[in-house]
Structure 1
Amino acid sequence: ILNNSEEIVTLYRELSHFPSLTSACIGPEVTTQYGGKYCNIYTECSQRDLERAENVKFCRQYLLFHDSQSIVYSGPSGNCTEIKGELLSRESPSGAQKAVLRKTSNSKGEEKQFLEVWEKNRKVKSIELTALEKHGPVYEDDQFGCLAWSHSETHLLYVAEKKRPKAESFFQPKAPELRDEEELAKPEPRDKVIKGDKFVFHEDWGETLGAKSTPTLCVLDIESSNVSVLEGIPEHISPGQAFWSPGDTGVVFTGWWHKPFRLGLRHCTNRRSALFYVDLTGRHCELLSDDTKAVWSPRLSSDQCRIVYLENSALGPHQQCSRLLMYDWYTKLTSTVLEVVPRQSFTGLYCTVLPELFWAADSQRVVLDTAQRSHQELFVVDTPTSSVTSLTKGAPTGSWTLLTIDRDLLVTRFSAPNCPPTLMVAFLPAPGEEAQVTWVCLEEARPLSGIAWAVHTFKPPPKQDNPQYAGLDFEAILLQPSPVPEKAQLPLVVMPHGGPHSVFVASWMLYPAALCRMGFAVLLVNYRGSLGFGQDSVASLPGNVGCQDVNDVQFCVEQMLQEELLDPKRVALLGGSHGGFLACHLIGQYPGTYRACVARNPVVNMASMIGCTDIPDSSRCMTEAGFSYDAVALPDPSQWVEMLRHSPMQYIDQVQTPVLLMLGEDDRRVPPKQGLEYYRALKARGIPTRLLLFPGNNHAISGVEAEADGFMNIALWLIQHLKC
């Protein structure tokens, strides 16, 4: 085991420098004088900069020569260039223009937002949105945000915070006004000021969306530089994910209900929402979908005839298997393309967001990526027939993500537990021939030496089977140092995922890779309830948390200890959120198995968390304890008791394992009071405990400095208590 802190720092620095491909755009097709065709592929990446303690964003471009069916030649065009201040950017439909939302700061530290339009080799427009005072900050997130060109390329659509009237204290001092007679003769337009509202609370949308409360749709007329705020949207709806309707007659958007109050939206695809159309006059707002479900990611077809979107049941598990629906703009009919899948070989759709561009050129097929058990795969879906074909069967084993598709040219990201992200391209074959796709690597990332991995499948013993959902299995991904010295027994780090309805896919992950390179075996457990295994697996967990998921992890660990060269005396737990919930459960229920524990923002007491989390309805509280959520009703005493019974806190007296707690100070999902409650209980019982509190970090604890410092503390905690 690598146990020198300076060498661990060097290792982390090396592995943290691999960039993540975040987006791609395909430029217009150019025909050379000799008849050949080529296009430019523009990519954006994010990379940790440990010295600056921030994620830096940069772009790189590639030239791709092709014959519309296969790639003749491809290669990079120049070096990388850092991008500064860009919040959003979009190419126009023709590719002739590009819109950029940019953030800047002046010498006083005041932030301003500009909307820019670029054309060919120059900037043709730069509009300071902040100075116009038509609205608040523009939304740049993927929950509400958008930057959409009209089909005519004359207008831009975006989402911003609604402008609020100025508020001040009843005792706000008035500044003296010194004006000449000419100024006094002019009427003075003044914003309405509301006294006494200075400290009024405004609800927001929870974790990572704290500054977002009342979104509004805004339109920029590029020629006149005029910004207008669209009217006619119902008062109880928060709009987002908007785009221009066919013919630019209005705007289609997703609207989320915010009555009686807002609940957290991040990673929650179960919030009541619907698809709407509002015309540009604001006099007509039409409902396009069922208004009792949860819908998101509407995408207009290339021929502007159909809208495909995802739908879930409202409330219930915060993520689940989704339907793929299609709305015909001209017949006004909605059809189901893909249904919820209980547990077939194709296990269904599990997408928190669809790619911005995912329609094939024929406007009949769509391409998307989704978890399928412990992998993420690419599929093409034929919307008229609902047939689903894999585009990655026979391709390198790992996880695939679609970045974009244009003129049937696919740009994707591939990675594996031992392979950092790689840029792959291919042409989508004709209908019926999709399985013959040929992938070409544009920017290769070689697999790392020293890491071997495999996916293992487990069937719970009969006494642990869920009678309501009998016969379900689950999986785990095991990373091991390679080669393993003969007869050596490796220390094991067990990592159940958070969620609880989430999944580990066989992709590049910094922490597991770094731990494996240090000499640890790492076990990533996808217990029953994980996404990607069918809706039955998701539905089996509510009402059984703290039991079924705990049993699955423990059974998985015991099986691996029997089958692999692992040291049963050196087993540790590392989990965040619901993974931390499971880690704390396991050291309480199986205190003899685990020698060290690291819990990041763990749920430890569901009963005490329900009043302070941004999602009291779903995971970790009412739904996962087996109850229906009612915004009006308080839990009755028996429900409080049941939530406590499902929580790790009930096993606190049995804990013997040293615990490292890591808490994000700004966590809205699992507030730090949960971890503090556990910390005090452990300290009172004399259990070795250490707590790290990261200011400015939310639930993910993903700030570059916090992430790096957190890893070092984890590594040294494991070394100390596993006696490596």
Structure 2
Amino acid sequence: MAQAGQQPSEVVHAEPQGMEEEARLLTSLQEIPNFSKCWLRSAHADALSLTVQYSQRNLPGNSQRKYAQTMHVPKGFSGDHKVTPSFPLELKDVQMLSLSPSGKRTLIVRGASEGNSCSLEVWMGNRVTKELFVPKKQHGGVYNDGWFGNGAAWSPDESRLAYVAEAPAASQTPSWGGLVKSSGEGDDKDMAAPKTWTGQGEWQEDWGELNVGKRPPSLFVLDLKRWSLKPVRGLPPDSSVGQPEWTPDGLSLVCTVWFHKAHNFPTMPQRLGIVYCMNRPCSLYSVRIPFTCKNNTPSDLNPQAKCLTEALLSAASPKFAPGGDKLIFLSHDAAASSGVHHATAALKCLNWSKEGAQTAVETVVEVVDSLTSDDAFPGLYLGALPESPFLDSNTLIVTSQWRSSTAILAISLDSGNVQRISQHDTDRASWAFAATCQGAVVAVTSSARQPPNLQILTQAASNNPVWVPLAFEGSWPFDKAVEQALPNMQHDILKVKATNAPNLPVEAVFITHKDVASPRPTILMPHGGPHSCYPTSYFSGYTFLVSLGYNLVLVNFRGSTGFGENSIQSLPGNIATNDVLDCMACLQAAIETGMVDKDKVGVMGGSHGGFLTGNLVGQYPSCFKCGVLRNPVMDLGLMIHCSDIPDWCYIEAFGSKEGLRRMQVKPTLEDLKRWREVSPIGHADKVTAPLFFMLGGKDQRVPQRDAKQYLAAFKARQNAPETRVIVFPEDTHALDKPQTEFEQFLNAAWWFKRFLT
């Protein structure tokens, strides 16, 4: 009871209020599992064995739950019945799961414990043949990020395997305290002494976003006959190494080497961020891996790696064709030479014999500059080749962006012919290659109204390939609210002419409710990058917002991947102009469908999409009622000093040629002036829309103080619009932890509910 003269304490309500029903729907949508990896191999004469690794958000644990199931699929499967999977096996504390090509052996890498960096379990059939604990002095954590490392590389006879892990510490961290005079009576470490503590070693550079505090990736080889684990020696110093691939004779490894100083940016001496950055120079090297034996020669004990791709700025993701006569790899020279962070890739080849690479590099698939028609092949857009990508000795299977969707491509290594083998005339779904074996291909497909599901093509080489769904016995039905929401989703692709470049394609994925009776509130969503793309695949957050009554306009502006290299290179030097104009053109195209209430439009974006959100509400203040910004770029003049990719600021603001000429650690006044011209902070005084900021406390790409500086300028205005900020302290740039993803979309829905309805 309050004492006399005191006011009763005010009840503080948690925000957002009144969102209980929406929270239940979002929870159900986010619990739908995804397929993260598949292995397909021969089981017996009449069936294939398919092992599927799933990931499912564990919201209470704020983690991704991983589990696996195995099932037999009859050869020639027609989809006329469901297949029966095994019991699900949770992969708890598993950092890496790698099946050997024959399926007879499995490597399971588990996390650190009691002074060890990890444990290595080698399985043969249904039993563990050996478990090794790797001390931290031998190497650090394992890289299995899909870039430096993606599973283990098994030698042809499966007697050795190579994987990627952090290099051991270069020097021992000092210990202090506990210093007592030796007693001279045996081992003093067992005597009573003051408490010690570990001091600080020398700071070491790292690869930035998602790699903070990690030592460089290095190669290690486990010999399964001698049970010895050794580092690979002879590789270039001051470099990181990954993506190992055994040569056909099993005596050497081919790997990718990234030098820590990017020689395409000579005025940037620091190590730059590498996640999502295809413009970092890299080369392929081969190095001999000797067996441990008494007959080793001096050259075996001190091998020297050989560069295979000296003429290229970029060579990565090596894979030997099944015949062993060709080494296939990707080159991102278009990105490395221009400075843009993602561009059109080329597929390259080295002919191979017992003596190694025999000829100069040949091109299998060229960079595509422009599209000759709506259905024309737009070029290759992928960061790395799949783990086991060969349909046969002459056919490579990959997933690539194809305009506003993803497609599965079959590439002839002899002719370079590219064929889209995934369906593209129904539902405009996106497809991703998962696994192949004996002429069969497994794919993951999804769309706005269809969560990820598996399809199989049993005769991929036939003239009339037919995909059939892989349905599982015992699959648990979706929650009732999800079952009601999904069938009502529909999407279309709006084709738009660019305002000042009609020959460059612009598209938007327009997602809405199929039974729209009147114009609805609409959210414009530009993507990040800027050189990335919104595909037509399923995403729980989009289904959630459409279920609440909103249309979504996902904009693929000029500069997006999947539309040819000319489109990509048209954006650098024109950010905040071309991309903004394209966003407004896509919004107008959506309004012209008659399904959009033009007086109830919001905008939401992250990273470069947040940059565009800030520019849109500033340049077109009367068009937007509110905005949501996720780790946005708001002030390039500040970002240049704190981001792990300062090169981005020069290339995107000035264009490739001028950006490369100007690039330096200490910007000039002219540089700062240009960055202010294109940055949202330059329009802060014109914004009338309430803004919601969502920031990651550990973001190295666009650190949170960039947005907070904008907020300070915004709030300095008299009668400034309402703002709200949430900082997720443990999140990086992607803001993709399960609880963070949940809170983002629930809070965004609350914000749109307040200002658009």
Give your verdict on TM over 0.5. yes
Q: CA 1:248 to 1:175, structure 2 compared with 1: closer, same or farther past 3 Å?
A: farther
- Preserved CA contact (<8 Å) 2:618 2:684: yes
Q: CA deviation at 1:72?
A: 8.3
Aligned counterparts of 1:407 and 1:309: Cα–Cα separation in 2: 23
Other structure's SS at 1:94 match: coil
**Matched residue, 1:441:** 470
Greater CA drift, 387-396 or 217-226? 387-396
Amino acid across the alignment from 1:719: K
1:583–1:310 Cα change, 3 Å: same
**Is structure 2 residue 79 aligned with structure 1 residue 65?**
no
In the alignment, does 2:22 pair up with 1:12? no
Cα deviation code 1:587-608 (max 9, x no counterpart) = 0000000001000000011121
Quote the residue 1:34 is aligned against.
Answer: none
In 2: Cα distance, 1:421 partner to 1:39 partner: 21
- Residues of 1 paired with 2:444 and 2:28: CA distance? 21
Q: Is this contact kept in 2: 1:414–1:423, CA < 8 A?
A: yes
Aligned to 1:326: 349
Matched, 1:144 2:128: no
Is 2:350 the counterpart of 1:350? Answer: no
Matched, 1:93 2:101: yes
Tell whether 2:723 aligns with 1:689: yes
Measured after TM superposition, the shift of residue 71 of structure 1 is: 7.6
Q: What RMSD over aligned residues (CA atoms) do the two structures have, in Å?
A: 2.4
1:545-564 CA-partner distances (Å, limit 9, x unpaired): 00000011012112322322
Superposition deviation, residue 169 in structure 1 = 5.3
**Kept in 2: contact 1:3–1:719 (CA 8 A):** no
1:652 and 2:684 are equivalent in the alignment:
yes
Where does structure 2 lack aligned partners over 5 or more consecutive residues? 1-15, 189-196, 262-268, 290-299
Rounded Cα–Cα distance in structure 1 between residues aligned with 2:369 and 2:682:
33
Q: Does 1:127 align with 2:132?
A: yes
Q: Counterpart of 1:204 in structure 2: which amino acid?
A: D
Check if 1:413 corresponds to 2:413: no
Q: Cα offset for 1:578?
A: 0.3
The corresponding residue for 1:297 is: 317
3-state DSSP class of the match of 1:599? strand
Distance 2:676 2:51 in 1: 51
1:271 positional shift: 0.6
CA distance in 2 between counterparts of 1:119 and 1:416 reads 39
| Kept after mapping to 1: 8 A contact 2:36/2:53 | yes
Code of the residue aligned with 1:336 in structure 2: it is T
Cα deviation 1:121-155 (Å, max 9, x = unaligned): 11111100126x32222222122124111112111
Is structure 2 residue 270 aligned with structure 1 residue 261? yes
Q: 1:298 to 1:592 in 2, by over 3 A?
A: same
Number of positions where the alignment pairs a residue of Structure 1 with one of Structure 2: 689
The 1-side partners of 2:111 and 2:331 are apart by 34
**Alpha carbons of structure 1 residues 599 and 435: separation in structure 2 relative to 1, 3 Å:** farther
Residue 633 to residue 671, structure 1, CA distance change in 2 (3 Å): closer
Going from structure 1 to structure 2, the CA distance change for 1:157 and 1:180 (only over 3 Å counts) comes to: farther
Q: Deviations over 1:57-91 (max 9, x none)?
A: 11122211115x97886603233232111111111
**Higher alpha-carbon deviation: 224-233 or 597-606:** 224-233
- Supply the distance in 2 between the matched residues of 1:296 and 1:712 (Cα, whole angstroms): 40
- For 1:558 and 1:407, locate their aligned partners in 2 and report how far apart those are by CA, in whole Å: 49
Residue in 2 that maps onto 1:504: 534
Equivalent residue, structure 2, for 1:191: none
1:531 matches 2:561? yes
Residue 459 in structure 1 maps to residue 497 in structure 2 = yes
Aligned 1:278-293 pairs, distance under 5 A: 278-280=287-289, 281=300, 282-290=302-310, 292-293=312-313
The one-letter code matched in structure 1 to 2:21 is E
Q: Distance in 1 between matches of 2:640 and 2:508?
A: 30
Report the equivalent of 1:471.
Answer: 503
Aligned residue for 2:285?
276
1:519 and 2:549 are equivalent in the alignment: yes
Q: Is residue 341 from structure 1 mapped to residue 368 from structure 2 by the alignment?
A: yes
Change (3 A) 1:29 1:73: farther
Aligned positions of 1:150-165 closer than 5 A: 150-165=155-170
In structure 2, distance between residues paired with 1:642 and 1:671: 21
Q: Given that residues 455 and 467 in structure 2 are in contact (C-alpha distance below 8 angstroms), is that contact kept between their aligned partners in structure 1?
A: no
CA distance in 2 between counterparts of 1:637 and 1:245 reads 52
Deviations 1:641-666 (A, max 9, x none): 11221111111111111000000000
**Match of 2:697?**
665
Report the CA distance between 1:632 and its aligned residue: 5.2
Q: How does 1:71-220 map to 2 (within 5 A)?
A: 75-105=83-113, 112-130=117-135, 133-146=137-150, 147-168=152-173, 173-174=178-179, 180=185, 198-220=200-222
Does the 8 A contact of 2:57 with 2:738 survive in 1? Answer: yes
Superposed displacement of residue 333, structure 1:
3.6
Equivalence for 1:604: 634
Moved more, 209-218 or 4-13: 209-218
Kindly provide the CA deviation profile for residues 452-509 of structure 1, in whole angstroms up to 9, marking residues without a partner as x: 1111100023xx22xxxx611200011112311x3x2200011000000000010001
Which residue of structure 2 aligns with residue 27 of structure 1? 41
| SS in structure 1 at match of 2:148 | coil
Secondary structure of 1:370's counterpart equals strand
Contact 2:209 2:701 (8 Å CA) reproduced: yes
Q: Distance in 2 between matches of 1:562 and 1:39?
A: 50
Once residues 548 and 94 of structure 1 are traced to their aligned partners in structure 2, the CA distance between those partners, rounded to angstroms, is 51
Is the contact between residue 357 and residue 406 of structure 1 (CA under 8 Å) also seen in structure 2? no
Q: 1:501 is paired with a residue of what secondary structure?
A: coil
SS of 2:470's partner is strand
Task: Pick closer, same or farther for the CA change 1:434–1:694 going to 2, 3 Å.
Answer: farther
Q: Please give the alpha-carbon distance, in whole angstroms, between the structure 2 residues aligned to 1:138 and 1:178.
A: 42
Deviation of residue 367 (structure 1)?
0.8
Q: Which residue is 1:188 aligned to?
A: none
Alignment correspondent of 2:752: 718
> Of residues 698, 703, 722 in structure 1, which corresponds to 2:737?
703
Q: Say if 2:218 and 2:240, in contact at 8 Å, map to a contact too.
A: yes
One-letter amino acid of the counterpart of residue 414, structure 1: T
Q: Deviations over 1:279-322 (max 9, x none)?
A: 12342211111354122221121122212111112151100011
Task: Quote the offset at 1:422 in angstroms.
Answer: 0.4
C-alpha separation in 2, matches of 1:448 and 1:178: 75
SS at match of 1:714: helix
CA-CA distance at 1:96 after TM superposition: 0.7
Letter in 2 for 1:337: V
Q: Which amino acid aligns with 2:453?
A: T
Question: Is 1:91–1:98's contact at 8 Å kept on the other side of the alignment?
Answer: yes
Q: CA deviation at 1:40?
A: 1.4
Gaps of 5+ in 1: 32-36, 185-194
Q: Secondary structure at the match of 2:83?
A: strand
Name 2:54's counterpart in structure 1. Answer: 45
Please state how far the C-alpha of 1:376 moved relative to its aligned partner: 0.7
Report SS of the residue matched to 1:248: coil
Where 2:601 maps in the other structure, the secondary structure is strand
